[in-house]
Amino acid sequence: MSINRYLQKYRSALILIIILILLPLFSSEYIKVVAMQIFIFGVFAISYDILLGYTGIASFGHAIFFGTGAYVSALMMLKAGFSFWATIPFVVVSCAGIGLVIGLLTLRFATIYFTIVTLALGQFCYFLLTNALTYQYTGGDDGLHGLPMVLQTKNQMYYLALAFLLAAFFIAKKIISSPLGKTLVAIRENEFRAKMIGYNVLNYRLIALVISGIMAGLAGSFNAAMLRSVFPGFMGASTTIDVILMTILGGMGSLLGPVAGAALVIICQQYLSSYFEWWLLIFGVIFVLVVLFLPQGLISIVYRFRKKNTSGGLN
C-alpha cells in the first residue's frame, strides 16, 4: 500500500490523533484532566470489551482488576518506596493471578456463574478495602493519597495517558485480529461448534480473562498515578457500572466503540450531572434501548453512515 492510500484509509484516525496531541497547547487544566480520564477509562473499557464483546462473557465485577492495579501500585509506591514503573510487573502478575483463580473457579460452568461470582467478589473486595481490619494499610474509605509524581508536568502526564491509550488500542487490535482473537469470536458465536472442532473453550476463555484483567489492572494503576491517590470506589460497583455503560453505549465488539463510550460517559458525568439529577435515569433508558435495538452500540450509527458514503464511491 502506498503512503498515500495508507493516509487516506486512516485519515480520520490521524486527524483525531493530531488533535489530541495538540490539545494541551490550547486547553485549560480542567479539560486536560477530563481528557486523561477518558484515555485511561478508554483502556479500561477496551479491556472490558475484549471479555464482553469478543469473548461473550459478562463480568459484573471488572472493577476488581482496576482496583487491584490501583492499590498494588499505590501501596508499593507509598509503603515500599517503589517507583511507578517498578510496580507495573507486580500489577500484571497480581491481576493475571486473580483472573486465573476466578476463571478456574467459575468458567467451567454456564457463564452466568462467572457473572454472579464476579459481582459478589467485587463487593467482597470493596468491603475488604473499607473494613476496619485493613484500615491501617488501605486507609479505609479515605483511600491513599500523596503518591509520588510519575512525570514532572501535567502536559507530560497527558501525553503519557494518550500514549497508554494508543498502545493499548493497537495491542488490542493485534490480539483481536490474531488467530487467538478469531477463536474467541468463534467460541462466542457457537460454543458447542468450537468445542467440536477441537478448541479448548475453557483455556481460551481463561486467556481472554487474563488479558482483559491485566489491561484493566494497568488502567487502574495509571489512574492511581494520574490522580496521585486511590479510593475504595475504584474497586466498587460504581466503577464496574461505569465500564459496562461505556462499553454497551459505545458499542461492544469493536475497539473504537468502548473508547467513544468512555468519552461519552465521562463527559456526561462531568458536565450533565451538575445540571440534571436524573441523568442516570436517561442513561438507563438509553442503555435499555441500545441493548434492544442497537446491540453494536452508538458507534454502529457512525459505521452505518460511513459505509453508505464509501460504498457509493467504490462501486
Partner 1 sequence: MTSQLFVNILLSALSLGVIYFLLSSGFALVFSLLRVSNFSHGSLIMWGAYLGIYLVKALSSFSLGLIISAVMIGIILALVEFFLFRRLYGGNPLFELLLTFGLIYILDEAVKLVWGAAIITVDKPSFLQGTVMIYGEPFAILRLYIFGLGAFVCAGLYFLLNKTKLGLIITAGIENKEMVRALGININRVFTFVCWLGGFLAGIAGFVLAYFNGLSPEMGTNQLLNVLVIVVVGGLGSFMGAAIAAVIMGLAEAFIGFYLPELAVLSSFIVMFIVLSIKPSGLLGEE
Rounded to the nearest whole angstrom, what is the least distance from the CB of residue 151 to partner 1 in the complex? 37
CA distances from 161 to 92, 169, 226, 261, 297 (A): 18, 12, 8, 17, 25
Interface positions, 200-229, toward partner 1 (CB under 8 A) = none
Residues 6+ apart with CB under 8 A from 64: 98, 102, 118, 121, 122, 125, 235
- Asked whether the CA dihedral 222, 228, 234, 238 is positive or negative, the reply is negative
Q: Which residues contact 197 (CB under 8 A, 6 or more apart)?
A: 186
Question: Nearest CA to 103 among 121, 83, 76, 89?
Answer: 121
Q: Which of 43, 51, 58, 92 binds partner 1 (CB under 8 A)?
A: 58
Q: Which is nearer to partner 1, 116 or 167 (CB)?
A: 116
CB of 238 to partner 1, least distance (A): 10
* Amino acid occupying residue 264: L
- For the bound state, the minimum distance from the C-beta of residue 87 to partner 1, rounded and expressed in Å, comes to 27
Range 232-251, binding partner 1 (CB under 8 A): 237, 244, 248
**Window contacting partner 1 (CB under 8 A); options: 20-28, 116-124, 208-216, 223-231:** 116-124
Which amino acid, residue 15? I
Which class for 286: exposed (0-12), middle (13-18), buried (19 or more C-beta within 10 A)? Answer: middle
Instruction: Please report how close the Cβ of residue 105 comes to partner 1 at its closest, in angstroms.
Output: 6
How far apart are alpha carbons 103 and 209 in whole angstroms?
A: 7
Sole binder of partner 1 in the list 283, 297, 299, 300 (CB under 8 A): 283
CB of 281 vs partner 1, minimal distance in Å:
4
- Indicate the burial class of 289 (C-beta count within 10 angstroms; 0-12, 13-18, 19 or more): exposed
Among 41, 48, 60, 71, binds partner 1 (CB under 8 A): 60
* Using rule CB under 8 A, residue 194 touches partner 1: no
Environment class of residue 237 by beta-carbon count within 10 Å: exposed (0-12), middle (13-18) or buried (19+)? middle
Q: Which three cell numbers stand for residue 4?
A: 498515500
**Interface residue with partner 1, options 70, 75, 117, 218 (CB under 8 A):** 117
Nearest residue (CB) to partner 1, 125 versus 215: 125
Find the binder of partner 1 among 141, 281, 304, 310 (CB under 8 A).
281
Residue 132 makes contact with partner 1 by CB under 8 A: yes
Lay out the site mask for partner 1 across 289-308 (x = CB under 8 A, - = otherwise): --xx--x-------------
Instruction: Say how far apart CA 268 and CA 274 lie, in whole Å.
Output: 9
Using the minimum distance from each CB to partner 1, give the nearer residue, 119 or 206: 119
- 50 interacts with partner 1 by CB under 8 A: no
**Which residues sit at the interface with partner 1, rule CB under 8 A?**
52, 56, 58, 60, 105-106, 108-110, 112-113, 115-117, 119-121, 123-124, 127-128, 131-133, 237, 244, 248, 277-278, 280-281, 283-285, 287-288, 291-292, 295
